[in-house]
Amino acid sequence: MNETDVVEKYPTNFEAWIQEFSEWQTRIGFDPSWLGDYRFDIKFDWDTAGSEIEFGDFSGMPKWERRMQIPQQNIRDAIINMVSVQGDTEFASVEQQNHLLASAPTEYDRKSALRIMCEEQRHGWQMAYLLCTFFGEQGVRQRW
C-alpha cells in the first residue's frame, strides 16, 4: 500500500465524516434517539470575532480564511494538531461518560449526563467540520 492508497481511504468531505460519526455512536452504544431535538449545529461567532488577527507576529493582519493563507507550514500543522486534540478529547469524554447513563442515581442526573454528552459530541462535530472544511486532505486525514 502506498501513500496514495492510504489517502484514498479517507472520505474528503464533512458529509462522509458524518456517516463515520454515526457508526462511532453505534460502536460506543450511544443511541442517537437519546438526542431528542438536540442538533449538532456549527456555531461561529463571526459578529464579534473581528476580521484582524489580534496578537502575535501577525497582529493587525486580516484573519486567515483558508489553509493556504496561513504563511508557514509549522503554523498550519500546529492549528491542525490543536483542532485534532480538541476534537479527540470531546469524543473521548463521551466514551468515558457513557456508563453514567446506566448508573445515574436519579432521572435528573441521567438527563444532565446525557445533555453533557450531547454537547461534547457537538463540540467534536464542530472540530471535525473545521478539519474537513478548512484544512483539505491534511485535515481529513487528522479527523477521527
Name which of 97 and 133 has its Cβ closer to Fe ion: 97
As a whole number of angstroms, the distance between CA 90 and CA 125 comes to 9
Applying CB under 5 A, among 123, 125, 128, 143 the residue interacting with Fe ion is: 123
* Shortest CB 93 distance to Fe ion, Å: 7
**Rule CB under 5 A: is residue 76 a binding residue for Fe ion?**
no
* Shortest CB 121 distance to Fe ion, Å: 9
How many residues at the interface with Fe ion, by CB under 5 A?
3
DSSP assignments along 50-116, one per residue: -SB--SSTTTTSBPP-SGGGSS-HHHHHHHHHHHHHHHHHHHHHHHHHTTHHHH-SSHHHHHHHHHH
Residues that bind Fe ion (CB under 5 A): 90, 120, 123
